[in-house]
Each structure stands twice: as C-alpha cells, then as structure tokens.
Amino acid sequence: MAIDLSSFEEVFEDDIHSHIYELSGHKLSAKRLGYVDRSSETIEISLPMSKIDMTIVQSLTGLSESTGYVCWETASYLTDWILSDENCPIRLNNDMTVVELGSGVGGILVSQFGPQVKKYVATDQKPILKLLKKNFVNNVRGEYTSETCDGGSSSKDKNYSRRSNGDAAVIEFVECDWEYVEHGVSTVKEVIGDVEIDLVIACDTIYNEYLIPHFIRSFKSLMGANTAVLVGLQVRDEVLMEIFAEKIFEEDLKLYYVRNEYLSSQLLQGYVVYYIERVNP
C-alpha cells in the first residue's frame, strides 16, 4: 500500500524516550480510561464527521476476561478520521485487502471500512467473534459477501454509495489469538488466499506488556513487502508505549507517527496513530 510519508514523522531508536515523553504531554486524565461507556450493555456511538450513528451491544460481564468485550474510543475516532477527514493520509479503495487485529466486539472498523475494500478480515479471540459479527450485521453500511457471517447487504442504511466496480466486498471473521501466532496467521492466510495484504490495522492493542511481542510478531507475520500497518492508540501508560516502540525496532521494522496537523480534533486529545513498515521491503 502506497503511503505519502510527508504526513508522518519517523521515530528513530535513539529518540524513543523523547518521543514518548512528548506524547505524554497530551495524555488524557487518568479518569478517562478510554472506554466509551461501561454503564450499559447497549450503547450508541456517533461518528460526527461522517454523520454515522451505530448501536452496539457490549458484554460487561466479559470485561474481566478480555478488554475486547467493551468498546473503546480510539476505534470510533480513527474510523471517523479515515472516512471523512480530508487531512487523513490513509485512503481506502475497492482493490485493497485489509486485516484487522484485535477487532473487539464493537466491529466499528469492519462495519464501516469493510464494504469499501476488496476483502476485509476482522480477527480476535474465538469468544469475541459471536458478538462482533452481531454488531457488524446491525451496523454495516454497504454490500458484502461472507462465508463466516450471515447477511449479504447493509441492514442499517440503504443510502450507501455503491461500489464503482459493481462487486460486493468480501468480509470475513476469523479467530486470531496473538499468543498462538502460527495458528492465527495460518487461519487468516487461508481466508485471504495468495495475495499480499495491503493494510493491517489495529486500535488500542497496547495494554499488556506480555502481549506486546506477540502482537508485533502477529502483524509482522502478515506483512508482505508493501504491507502497511496502522495502529491507533490512546496515550495511557508511557512504559508500555516505550516497550512497544523498542520491540518494533527489535523486529527490524520502521516506525512513524502521524503529525499533529493531520490528526482530527478528537485524535489530538490524547491519541497517536502509528504507521509501521519493513526496513527492507
């Protein structure tokens, strides 16, 4: 996937600490943990720039097992930014193959991005997938085909734009547990087929030190020579973010972040968007 790097700033290994320190100056209050609403199983989420409203079912009882059972703000902010902010350097098209890691139950990205690309694969741990697919079907805006999810067209809004090539997107949901990299990557590649993935995308996936190297190895295993990786994060724990950046360099990858002037007003309030690529494509 071709990315215009003029919108990004490269992070060098010697500058990790100063980069994280600068980000921490924009960190949200400790009271703002980043979840949308933990008071209700059913929540409403709006993407104001895109003029899209979604109804999402969470599992508050499942939160003790996985953070993926509730919705986090980063996903909605990143989605709205990519869909509707003219300053966003990321552009989706109907020739792209996209894989999302750690989708969570909300399905915000897959429901909005999926119909815009050629193939979209949303992944998470197996217990997450059932509710993820339910929320996707309730909120998807566009035509699609799927072997792993019932449906086949938008069930929420028929006023979507039809694809220029007339073909419906292929959208699939598969298990990918980062702790079992080989199995997860193999499952994704079975669905993708013999094509290079254009974009791997993830939101708020840096929250557990133990999982960081597993997460990085997962997306690295999916990367072809020209695959772009986009990771949106809320700036919370500086130590974890520094470990994440250090592990990126240990895996012989290059790290960039979107410069502030290209972020939306929402993302400027304590969030960072990273772009990762291979050192030698």
The reply to whether 155 falls in a domain is yes
* Nearest to 203, CA basis, from 84, 70, 93: 70
Residue 125 lies in a domain: yes
The domain that holds 209 is classified in CATH as 3.40.50.150
Residue 273 near residue 80 (C-beta atoms within 8 A): no
**SS3 at position 257:** strand
**pTM, whole model, 2 decimals?**
0.91
Q: Is 89 within a domain?
A: yes
| Domain-located, residue 6 | no
Domain of 239 in residue numbering reads as 13-278
Residue 216 forms part of a structural domain: yes
Q: Is the pLDDT of residue 254 over 90?
A: yes
pLDDT at 36: 60
Q: Determine what percent of the chain is predicted with pLDDT higher than 90.
A: 77
What pLDDT does residue 281 have?
A: 63
Residue type, 200: V
Q: What percentage of the chain carries pLDDT values higher than 70?
A: 86
Burial class (CB within 10 angstroms; exposed 0-12, middle 13-18, buried 19+) of 193: exposed
For 11, 196, 210, 259, 274, the CA distances from 8, given in Å and listed in that order, are 10, 23, 28, 5, 9
Domain count, the chain: 1
Q: Token pair of 194, please?
A: 């013999």
Domain membership flag for residue 5: no
Q: Which residues of 123-146 are buried (b: 16+ CB within 10 A; e: fewer)?
A: bbbebbbebbbbbbbbbbbbbbeb
Quick check: is 185 in a domain?
yes
Rounded to the nearest integer, the mean pLDDT of the chain is 89
Residue pLDDT, tens place only, 31-76: 455 556 666 789 999 999 999 999 999 976 655 455 657 788 999 9
Looking at residue 158, its pLDDT comes to 41
Integer CA distances (angstroms), 236 to 86, 133, 201, 259, in order: 27, 29, 19, 19
Kindly report which listed range (24-28, 32-36, 126-130, 217-221) carries the lowest average pLDDT score.
Answer: 32-36
Q: What is the mean pLDDT of residues 86-96?
A: 96
Q: Is residue 26 over pLDDT 80?
A: no
